Structure formats: C-alpha cells, structure tokens
Amino acid sequence: MLYREAGQFKTSYVADQAIFPIRQDRIGLAVILIAAFVGVPLFGSDFFISAVMVPLLVFSLAAIGLNILTGYTGLLSLGTGGFMGVGAFACYKLTTVFPDVNIIIWVLVSGFFSCGIGILFGLPSLRIKGFYLAVATLSAQFFLDWAFVRIPWLVNNNTSGAIEVPTRTLLGIPVTGPTAQPEVRYLVILSVVTLLTVIASNLVHGRIGRSWMAVRDMDLAAELMGIRLYRTKLLAFAVSSYYCGVAGALMVFFWYGSAEPAVFGIDQSFFILFMVIIGGLGSLVGSFFGAALIYGMPIILKGVVAMVGLQITPATVEHLTFMTVGALIILFLIIEPAGLARLWQIGKQKLRVWPFPY
Amino acid sequence: MDILYKVFIDPFMQMGGAPDLLVQTLWEGLVAGMLYALIALGFVLIFKASGVFNFAQGIMVVFAALTLVGIYDLLRQWGVPSGWLAAYLALALSLVVMFGLAFAVERVMLRPLVNQPDIILFMATFGLTYFLIGFGEFVFGGNPKRMIAGELNLPSGAVEFKMAGGFVSMQKIDIAAVLIVSVMVGALSFFFQRTRIGRALRAVADSHKAALSVGISLNQIWVIVWFAAGVVALTTGIMWGARSEVSFSLQIIALKALPVLILGGFTSIPGAIVGGLIIGVGEKIGEFYWGPLLGSGIESWLAYVIALLFLLYRPQGLFGEKIIERI
C-alpha cells in the first residue's frame, strides 16, 4: 500500500532511467544511509560496530569486487584473497615509506597495485574459459600466498612476518592503530565503501557495464558486435582487483589492526565467492546481502545455541555450525539459485501489488 | 650471468652428478603424481557424466578414510577380533556408506538443481564440502587417525636399489599404490568402454537430452557415477592415509588435483593420469633443483604455473575435448 509508484510521473528520459525510479526506494535508501552514518555510531555498542558492522562492510566491498568479475563479466575467479593481500601489503609499504601522506589516500592508492597484479593474472582469460580459468586464477592465489610469506621486504623485514598497523591520524583524530575508536574506524570504512559502491553502480549501469554483461552472456557474440574482448575482460579484472585490494587494505588497517599472510589464503577467496553466489551474481545489493548472510550465519547460529542453552562443548558447536552452514548453502541454492538479490526483487514486486496481486 | 648459470646449467649439472638422487626424486614425483591423479580421477568421473565440478571430492577422500577407520574401531568394540577380517568387513561397510552418500547427494542436491548453471552446482558442492567437514568431525572427531594399512595386508617398509654409487629407496606402500592405481584405472577404463552401464555413462556425458530420449535414467546414472567417485575416494583415502595419517588436512591435496585436472582436461581419464604424473614429477624436480633459488616452498604454486603454461597452448587441457563455440 505504501510502496507503490502510482502517481509518480516521469517527464524526462533521465528520470525514467534512474537507478531508483520509485520515490519510496529513494526514501528507503536515504533512511538506510542516515541510519548507517548517524544512527549506528551514536547508538551502536562497540561490539556491534567493530565485530558486526565493520567486517560486514569490508566483506561487502570485496564481494562487490568479485561480483564485477564473476557476476557481471562471467569470469570465475578464485584469487580474491590474494588480491586483497596485495592491497593490504601495498598500503602497509606505502604508509611506512611515506608516513606523512594521509592513510585514506594510501588505502585508495593501494588498490592500484592490486589492480596491476590483477591485470597480469587476467592475461590468460582470453584463451582460457570457465572452470579452466577458475583454476588458472588459483595460481595467482597460491603464488601471492607464497610471496607474502617468503618476501620479508613486504613487511619491512620485521621478525613476526605480519603487518602491524601503525597509528595514523586524520584531522588530529587517530583512525588506525590501537588507539583508534571503533566509531571512527567504522565511519572511515563506511565512507570509502559508500563512495566505491556509487562508482561501481555507475560503472555497471553504463556503457562499460553493458559491455561486461554482453561478454558474460556470450563472449563470441559480444566480439562480433564490436566489443573488444581483451580490453573488456582486462578492465573487469582491473576494476575487480582494485575493489578487492581496497577491501584488503581496509580489512587490515581498520578492522584487524595486524594481519599475518594467512588471512589472505584460499579460504578467504572461497568465502567471498560464497557471498557473491548466495547474494546473487550480477547484483550490487546482492553483494551486501551475501556478505551479511555468510558472515552473519555462524554468529547467529552460535547465538541460537547459546540462547537455547544446550550443554555441548565448543568443538561440537563448531562442527554443527559447519554442518548447518553447508546445509543452508544447499538449501538456499535449491530455493533460489539466482540468490538473495532475486528474492529481494520478488519481494518488492509482491509489495508493489499488495494486497491485490492480480 | 650468474643467475642464468644457476637457472639453466647448475641444476642439470647436479642431475648428472648424482643420478641416484635424480631417480629418487623422479620416483617420489611419480608416486605423488599417481595419488594426485587418483583424486583428479574422481573429479573427472563426475564431471564427465553430470557436468558438475565436484569440489567435494577432496573431503570425500577424507570422509571415506575416516569412515573406514571409524567402522573398524566400532567393529572391534563389538567384539570382532582385530585383524584382516574386521578390516575387510569395515571396507565393505565403508563401500555401503559411500553408496548411501552417493544416493543422498543425488536425491537431495542434484535432483532439485537439475538444469541450473554450472556455477550454481559448483557452489552446491561447496555446501556439500562444508556439510561433510562438519559431519565427519561430529561423528569421528577431529583428531588424526592411523590408517589400518597393516590390517588390510598392505605392505610396509622399504626396498633399496643400488645405483651409480648411491641408493634409491622405495617405500613398499608406494609400489603397492602404483600397482593398485594401475589396476583401478584399467578396471575403470574397461567399465567405461565395455559394459552396458559404461556405454550409458558415455551417452550421458555426450548429451543429457539425447541420453534421456533413448531411455537412460539420468538419476540412476548419477548415483552410479557418484558411487564410483566414492570408491575412488576410498582408495585414495587408504593410500594417502597409509603414507601419513587420516586427518582433515588431507583435503588440501584436493586443491593439488586441480592443476592436474586442467592439465589433463576435465573430461579425460587418461588425461588425469598423464596430468598427474607431469605435475607430480615437475613439482618434485622443480622444488628439488630450482627451489633453493627462490627460497623453497615453491611446490605450493609451481603445479599451477606448469598447468597454466600448458593451458595457454591448449585451452581445453592436453586430452580434453576440443571446445567448439557456436553463436
């Protein structure tokens, strides 16, 4: 009843082609943004901000990055963790070599390093397709994994072999390091994620996004229509790894505080891929849903177990969590193979015609 | 110049200088390759018949081995004297469990997801992986277990050969592994080429629709294929378990099977074997002779790079079916 576009007339093509053509959608988005920027820092507890919201945003950004590659361009990649690592290590090197430059600039710049690596490992993508390409990107993952451990120069030859985030300030307020408040870190991440999501949205709705989707649907046909395959695929690799790199830098600098190379392992790649597939391939909002579901599911499951108050050991809880997550993944795929984004679409459509569905 | 010498000349000098070490390394590569090939074989069986890229093959190996050891322990608790009788009884019961798993996978997972894009089915096998990890740890516990190799009458110890002023030592279990793998590949080839079910399997691999139209039951075929993959997984589990121990870290080797797969081609059984041998030998030789140049540990990614280089020349793998694209 409330969610209906009746009476909202468009008088220009621009208005008609808007990403959110319905006024209620725009209001809803504004409410979400205000809640995220004002409500959460004001009313959220420290635990909620640093253990729920911050990881959620970081994973969403990485999922958007992978979604550009896998969902929009149809190139299956298992190297996400490695690309995130490149971003994190690049950011660490940059900020220790040039400590006076603002950390946020370095976070955004570090993405370009991972972008370069991404292009390098994207080069085989013209000849290799499908699952063969997925396994080829695994070589990026394993090579980068190895490089993070074996090249001590990346962590300035420190003995622990891990990134230890130094304290950096913005307008006199510490934003990274042990003294930074969770609210501050959250707001920085939120701003970066919002900015990059807007850019991604503009990319995928424009000419570039359309050429990506044409390549996804059938690359030969796209080539015959005049899309330069190599450029398009490499651009997808570049943009995708940029997003993953920034997500990796944010993860280490604003969430973990210190990180060993192991966090950029193959598990991280799979984790992000789950988010993209469960959230919905080729959907930006799906990336957020997927991140929330995959990251939130184990937390919620543990909460449920604690609430029920069963007398079982933590190890058993762990096993049951694994089993349930596995079963739920299969269940979600059976219910809606197109992901949570499609469920969201269906829900909105139902809401528009409610209460008279015909 | 120095680096060129170290890359192109020095390793070969070392090989020529100590041929016994070279043979030893080759043998180790061969055995590792055989075992990679076994896992790859499980992948290929399922991919050929249902187009599913079965990521769960690695965990199926662990699960099968754990089931075998778990049932053996259970049988002993029930009073069956430990020894070969209990071991073979456990083996038979494990086969039943693997059949049950194949049946359940087909019923619960594949049937509702029929006709979905490949990536969705791939994702579903990830779900299966997680489920099996949780289930396996829940039932059998997360501790590493000893494989009942002796009870299954698998040999142990080593044989040594004198060669060019040195020794080459071969574990008997490795020799047994090579023999068993050869027999199994032979049996599988026979099964695929000569039997009625094998012909049906090949028909399904060619085209689901055409196979259905001549009266082949897809569901039945899928159960058979997943069961065959389960048998391969059980064999792999016994072999790997006998070499080290049965633990969940074994599933990491499944990732090693992926470059073998792309090297040999997803659809070719001989490809899996040849790919496995190339990767196994290449990896060991590379690690042993070139590894020190890069600070060792290159074993973890060398296989992928070898596979990637092959792929650039043949995008469908060495023995894969030629990819024909039509608009």
Q: Do A333 and B294 touch (CB under 8 A)?
A: no
Instruction: Flag whether B326 is in a domain.
Output: no
Question: Which residues pair with residue B160 across a beta bridge?
Answer: B169
Instruction: Flag whether B318 is in a domain.
Output: no
Look at residue B294 in the predicted model and tell me its pLDDT.
67
Nearest CB to B301: which of A128, A143, A218? A143
- Check pLDDT > 70 for residue A354: yes
pLDDT digits (tens, 9 = 90+) for A160-208: 767 777 777 777 777 776 777 778 888 888 889 999 999 998 888 888 9
Instruction: Flag whether B324 is in a domain.
Output: no
Q: Is B105 on the interface with A (CB under 8 A)?
A: no
Highest mean pLDDT among A122-126, B124-128, B139-143, B156-160: B124-128
Would you call A82 exposed, middle or buried from its count of C-beta atoms within 10 A (0-12, 13-18, 19+)?
Answer: buried
Among chain A residues, the shortest Cα distance to B258 is held by A135
Instruction: Flag whether B322 is in a domain.
Output: no
Among all chains, which residue has been given the structure tokens 């470059």? B259
- Under the banding of pLDDT at 50, 70 and 90, the label for residue B157 is low
Distances from the Cα of A198 to the Cα of A19, A191, A201, A285, B13, angstroms: 11, 11, 5, 11, 59
Nearest CB to B311: which of A136, A218, A334? A136
Q: Where are the beta strands (DSSP E) in chain A?
A: 163-164, 169-170, 173-174, 258-259
Tallying the residues shown for chain B, one arrives at: 327
Whether a cis peptide bond, with omega within 30° of 0, leads into A355 is yes
- Mean pLDDT, residues B212-223: 86
In A152-211, the residues whose Cβ lies within 8 Å of chain B are none
**Cα of A11 to nearest chain B Cα, Å:** 39
Q: Is A328 on the interface with B (CB under 8 A)?
A: yes
- Under the banding of pLDDT at 50, 70 and 90, the label for residue A63 is very high
Among all chains, which residue has been given the structure tokens 């149809």? A74
State how many domains chain B has: 1
In B288-317, the residues whose Cβ lies within 8 Å of chain A are 294-295, 297-298, 300-301, 304-305, 307-308, 311-312, 315-317
**Cα of A190 to nearest chain B Cα, Å:** 29
Q: What interface predicted TM-score (ipTM) does this complex get?
A: 0.79
Q: Do A132 and B262 touch (CB under 8 A)?
A: yes
Domain A44-353 class? mainly alpha
Instruction: Flag whether B177 is in a domain.
Output: yes
In A74-133, the residues whose Cβ lies within 8 Å of chain B are 76, 124, 127-132
Q: Which residue has the higher pLDDT, B313 or A203?
A: A203
Structure tokens at B320: 């894969």
Rounded to the nearest 5 percent, the helix, strand and coil shares of chain B are 75, 5, 20
**Element at B84 (helix H, strand E):** helix B84-104
Instruction: Flag whether B55 is in a domain.
Output: yes
Highest mean pLDDT among A38-42, A81-85, A319-323, B145-149: A81-85
**Cα of B171 to nearest chain A Cα, Å:** 30
Q: Give the domain range for residue B235.
A: 2-313
pLDDT digits (tens, 9 = 90+) for A20-31: 777 778 888 888
Cα A86 to Cα A55: distance, rounded to the nearest angstrom: 19
Nearest CB to A146: which of B112, B116, B301? B301
Distances from the Cα of A67 to the Cα of A41, A78, A132, A282, B203, angstroms: 28, 12, 19, 6, 36
For chain A, give every domain's residue range.
Answer: 1-8+15-42, 44-353
- The region that residue B297 occupies, defined by phi over 0 for left and psi between -120 and 50 for alpha, beta otherwise, is left
